[in-house]
Amino acid sequence: MSTESSKKRKPKVIRSDGTPTEGKRNRSDTEQEGRYYSEEAEVDLRDPGRDYELYKYTCQELQRLMAEIQDLKSRGGKDAAIEIEERRIQSCVHFMTLKKLNRLAHIRLKKGRDQTHEAKQKVDAYHLQLQNLLYEVMHLQKEITKCLEFKSKHEEIDLVSLEEFYKEAPTDISKAEVTMGDPHQQTLARLDWELEQRKRLAEKYRECLSNKEKILKEIEVKKEYLSSLQPRLNSIMQASLPVQEYLFMPFDQAHKQYETARHLPPPLYVLFVQATAYGQACDKTLSVAIEGSVDEAKALFKPPDDSQDDESDSDAEEEQTTKRRRPTLGVQLDDKRKEMLKRHPLSVMVDLKCKDDSVLHLTFYYLMNLNILTVKAKVTTATELITPISAGDLLSPDSVLSCLYPGDHGKKTPNPANQYQFDKVGILTLRDYVLDLGHPYLWVQKLGGLHFPKEQPQHTVIADHSLSASHMETTMKLLKTRVQSRLALHKQFASLEHGIVPVTSDCQYLFPAKVVSRLVKWVTIVHEDYMELHYTKDIVEAGLAGDTNLYYLALIERGTAKLQAAVVLNPGYSSIPPIFQLCLNWKGEKTNSNDDNIRAMESEVNVCYKELCGPRPSHQLLTNQLQRLCVLLDVYLETESHDDSVEGPKEFPQEKMCLRLFRGPSRMKPFKYNHPQGFFSHR
Amino acid sequence: MERATQLAVPLGQTEVFQALQRLHMTIFSQSVSPCGKFLAAGNNYGQIAIFSLSAALSSEAKEESKKPVVTFQAHDGPVYSMVSTDRHLLSAGDGEVKAWLWAEILKKGCKEVWRRQPPYRTSLEVPEINALLLVPKENSLILAGGDCQLHAMDLETGTFTRALRGHTDYIHCLALRERSPEVLSGGEDGAVRLWDLRTAKEAQTIEVYKHEECSRPHNGRWIGCLATDSDWMVCGGGPALTLWHLRSSTPTTIFPMRAPQKHVTFYQDLILSAGQGHCINHWQLSGELKAQVPGSSPGLLSLSLNQQPAAPECKVLTSAGNSCRVDVFTNLGYRAFSLSF
């Protein structure tokens, strides 16, 4: 406390005041001599361990004295006070020792701290220096690396190689003696040379540009000149037309056709090209022409941007109108259907001329949305044809080309993708529209190079020339044979309807001279009627009586015997023979199910038809078959064994020469006619 | 009834021709192989088809099993009759008899082992051979047909030993009477003649058409089919189907069948007959019609019972006639399926 602190200071003051006059001198003396009392110096002299011992001892003494005082105070007495006083003085002395020791401890502590502080400061200073130096080192290193990495722009330039440089550069730039030794100078020299070269090239470039400008201008002038030439040439061509016609060289016409052909859709184009090529190369009787409106065809290919703008405008307009008055659903559907079945405005006309001056006119159309080709056919003859009633279907445009190839009936669309399109607009089948649009036969698709694989729908229009070319010849030949056979049938039917079987002279050898049975009736019947007949079940079950065939009924008579023959005429006549089924009404009804001989007669005309084909192109097959039926009926009736129980002569006396009447387990009649001996035998 | 299914394939010329051929095919004869597993059928185009009965009857039979294993052109004319020895198939048609080895017959390009033509009198027309008969005791083959004679041929040497004359019109059918070896023949002239093979003479003649009970003049007098069971004989054709007692030459039972019958055979205690009309008729010996089992052909020409001991699982009745199909009856009561050319 304050007394303690004053006691702390006091010794200094007292001691110094003890000799105040001498004090200044002492002070200076002691400063000079070193006797000045300083506790700091004392601290250095004393041993801290001993001080610690002293401290412990003093504490002990104090404790002991306090204990004694306590005793004395508790005992009481007069001596006690003096002893207590003694002890009190001793304790005071001890206290003072303790205080001194405390001071000493503080001083020591302070000294220690000061020293530490100093040392620390030094260390900090060094540390800072180190940091600074390190930073500097780093900075310098960075600078060094930067300098080392520095790439001068001059290194990016591809300089010419050294040899070339020394060869090409003029000596005032290359300065060989200087540069060889010194790489720096060498590089400088090379750069100089580079600059020189570049300047020269820039010069050249400018010259060339100006040249080009000049030439372009010249070209423009010449082009204008040429374009002015075109109309003059056209007028010359026009003028030459009469000359062309006079010389029978219709180049202009062909040229025009090719022009129009460019606007044809790809399948029609393929067809046109292949047909023209075939006509020119192989078959002079074939002629090809393009019909239709070219402008409409061009209109189909408007650029998409314009049409989109137009569409959006028209859509907006349409919306307004439709809000007021919507067309009925049926009309909408009808429109959609019409849209789906739309034809391309251009069509290809092919005319096939046959030997007898009859012409087959084929018009091919392309249905754009359905991506198929259709054909319409017409047959015109040199002379007017009087159509017999039964021949109505023979040359009708609907059926004349049916089944040109087996199974190709042309009533169904060949493109499988069309089914999905049809479902959207409610068309069941193309059959309903076929009369109007034409028939989509498979061979027509092939001629147009359109190939439809069976399973997948075709999305892109791939018109293949090779497909068309390979089919062209066969199809054209088939078409001609078809027309000619139909025309031949036409004529024959006219005769058949009058009851005369027209057998040509070169087929007379197939039959005996005398044929008594006569053809009485020849009519056409419909498919359903044929199926209803009771004796045609076998043919129907064998799948030979489809709805693409033509059906006829013939009646042959002799006396009381009536032979009914139901005829299936396949559109592929005459390569596919007509099929006969017989029913004889004479002494009961005999058909192939109850009379083996009727079966044999059918076999004679159906299975053995090859003998009856006659000379190629075998148009005589049907008439020969009918004549043979007459002969067979004669044989049948004349060789019938006479029933002894019935009275009267035989209705039909035997006139035919036969070796044997019956043969084999089925007791066949002799149906085979042998020429020229003229007798009948068995097969 | 099983019929040919509709053909969906577009028909070109060859398909139409083949269909027409099949429609007009007649199967005249059948024969079972000695092992009992195969059936040979001969048709009017001269082709012989070999069917595998074991394959068609097995449980895994497919549609192809009902088609012939092999078909080959055997004769130029129709194959009217066939028989099988224990190694050969003998087929006869237009004037010739040919032999084929059963072991080789299934291979393609099979050629006949031998062919023979009996000595004919006329050369103007080649007569057909309508019936073949094997006589096992003498190892000979009897042929009969268009030239109104029966020719006997020795199978070992191939020579024609005898010619039995007597018929006035061509012969339809033959039957063998085992006990006293006699051959019965029926012909177009309406007579059934019995020939004794040892003496080569006609032993008995039955003129069927002269008996009023069975004659049917409106059908004709021809005898189309014969079968014999030692003392008894059944025959039919133009006249009604009749059962005769041979020793007394009297007709004992007349079977009331209007249609002329073309094939008749004894089977156990029944008589099976077939002819015009699509049914096989089962007759009891008393003359009652036990059953009429319909087949698939409009008229039948031959019946064949496969009784070969080697293949009891193939014991079937097969019938063929005016179609390209051979009906197979596993149980005599109904038609199981048809094999077809």
Boundary residue ending a domain (A146, A174, A199):
A146
**How close does chain B come to A476, measured CA to CA in Å?**
18
Q: Is A15 on the interface with B (CB under 8 A)?
A: no
Contact (Cβ atoms closer than 8 angstroms) between residue B192 and residue B205 = yes
Element (H or E) spanning B304, and its range?
strand B300-305
Binary contact (A666, B301; C-beta < 8 A): yes
Binary contact (A544, B80; C-beta < 8 A): no
Using pLDDT thresholds of 50, 70 and 90, give the confidence band for residue A315: very low
Q: Does residue A421 sit within a domain? A: yes
Contact (Cβ atoms closer than 8 angstroms) between residue A375 and residue A444 = yes
- Whole-number Å distance between alpha carbons of B289 and A324: 86
Mean pLDDT of B153-169: 88
Bigger pLDDT: A223 or A297? A223
Q: How many helices (H) and strands (E) does chain B have?
A: 2, 28
Q: Write the residue in B4, B13, B172 that is nearest to A541 by C-beta.
A: B4
| Whether residues A631 and A563 fall in one domain | yes
Q: Does residue A25 sit within a domain? A: no
Binary contact (A664, B80; C-beta < 8 A): yes
Give the domain range for residue A48.
38-146
Contact (Cβ atoms closer than 8 angstroms) between residue B127 and residue B146 = yes
pLDDT of A547 above 90: no
Least trusted range by pLDDT, from A42-51, A298-307, B232-241: A298-307
Q: Write the residue in A538, A644, A660 that is nearest to B217 by C-beta.
A: A644
Q: Does residue A323 sit within a domain? A: no
Query: Residue A143, CB half-sphere, CA atoms under 13 Å: how many?
Result: 6
Q: Is A376 on the interface with B (CB under 8 A)?
A: no
Q: HEC string of A243-308? A: HHHHHCCCHHHHHHHHHHHCCCCHHHHHHHHHHHHHHHHCCCCEEEEEEECHHHHHHCCCCHHHHH
- Whole-number Å distance between alpha carbons of B323 and B336: 17
Instruction: Please classify residue A364 by burial: count the beta carbons closer than 10 Å to its beta carbon, then call 0-12 exposed, 13-18 middle and 19+ buried.
Output: buried
Q: Does residue A587 sit within a domain? A: yes
Q: Chain A window 476-505: which residues touch B at a Cβ cutoff of 8 Å?
A: none
| Whether residues A223 and A278 fall in one domain | no
Q: Does residue A625 sit within a domain? A: yes
Q: Write the residue in B12, B78, B128 that is nearest to A406 by C-beta.
A: B12
| Whether residues A590 and A659 fall in one domain | yes
A81 CB neighbour count, 10 Å cutoff: 13
Mean pLDDT of A165-182: 73
- Whole-number Å distance between alpha carbons of A108 and A106: 5
- Whole-number Å distance between alpha carbons of B216 and B239: 5
Mean pLDDT of B211-230: 86
pLDDT of A212 above 90: yes
- Whole-number Å distance between alpha carbons of B243 and B284: 11
| Whether residues A102 and A192 fall in one domain | no
A300 CB neighbour count, 10 Å cutoff: 13
Q: Does residue A55 sit within a domain? A: yes
pLDDT of A662 above 80: yes
Phi, psi angle pair for A426, to nearest 5°: 75, 25
- Whole-number Å distance between alpha carbons of B37 and A100: 144
For A538, residues 6+ apart whose C-beta sits below 8 A from its C-beta are A581, A592, B23
Least trusted range by pLDDT, from A50-64, A246-260, A601-615, B62-76: A246-260
Q: What residue has token string 């669309």?
A: A413
| Whether residues A348 and A427 fall in one domain | yes
Contact (Cβ atoms closer than 8 angstroms) between residue A556 and residue A517 = yes
Mean pLDDT of A566-583: 86
Boundary residue ending a domain (A86, A117, A146):
A146
Element (H or E) spanning B329, and its range?
strand B325-329
Q: Write the residue in B19, B80, B322 that is nearest to A542 by C-beta.
A: B19
- Whole-number Å distance between alpha carbons of B151 and B163: 4
- Whole-number Å distance between alpha carbons of A353 and A291: 19
> Quick one: DSSP state of residue A153?
G
| Whether residues A347 and A477 fall in one domain | yes
CA A108 to chain centre: 100
β B242-245/B223-229 pair status: unpaired
Percent of chain B with pLDDT over 70: 96
Taking all residues of chain B, what is their mean pLDDT, rounded to a whole number?
Answer: 86
**How close does chain B come to A430, measured CA to CA in Å?**
20
CB contacts < 8 A (A, B) = 106
Chain A interface test: which of B3, B5, B17, B20 (most A C-beta within 10 Å): B20
Q: Does residue A315 sit within a domain? A: no
CA angle B170, A671, B116 (to 5 degrees): 45
Residue B182, CA distances (Å) to B138, B163, B197, B244 in order: 12, 14, 6, 16
Mean pLDDT of A628-647: 80
Mean pLDDT of B256-270: 88
For B202, residues 6+ apart whose C-beta sits below 8 A from its C-beta are B164, B166, B193, B194, B195, B196
- Whole-number Å distance between alpha carbons of A611 and A125: 134
How many domains, chain A? 4
Mean pLDDT of A80-89: 83
| Whether residues A291 and A228 fall in one domain | no
What residue type is A362 in one-letter code? L
> Quick one: DSSP state of residue A394?
T
Nearest to A516 by CA among A351, A370, A635, A676: A635
| Whether residues A473 and A608 fall in one domain | no
| Whether residues A225 and A169 fall in one domain | yes
What angle in degrees, to the nearest 10, is found between the helix axes of A78-149 and A48-75? 150
Nearest to A587 by CA among A560, A566, A564: A560
pTM above 0.80, yes or no: no
**How close does chain A come to B97, measured CA to CA in Å?**
15
Binary contact (B11, A576; C-beta < 8 A): yes
**What SS3 class is residue A141?**
helix
Instruction: Please classify residue A345 by burial: count the beta carbons closer than 10 Å to its beta carbon, then call 0-12 exposed, 13-18 middle and 19+ buried.
Output: buried
**What SS3 class is residue A92?**
helix
> What's residue B278's pLDDT?
86
| Whether residues A199 and A286 fall in one domain | no
Q: Does residue A93 sit within a domain? A: yes
Mean pLDDT of A635-642: 82
Using pLDDT thresholds of 50, 70 and 90, give the confidence band for residue A306: very low
| Whether residues A675 and A561 fall in one domain | yes
| Whether residues A282 and A431 fall in one domain | yes
Binary contact (A607, B24; C-beta < 8 A): yes
Boundary residue ending a domain (A438, A458, A483):
A483
User: For A403-423, how does the pLDDT look when each residue is reduced to its tens digit (9 = 90+)?
Assistant: 788 777 777 788 888 888 888
> Quick one: DSSP state of residue B334?
B
Contact (Cβ atoms closer than 8 angstroms) between residue A180 and residue A189 = no
Beta bridge partners of B194: B184, B204
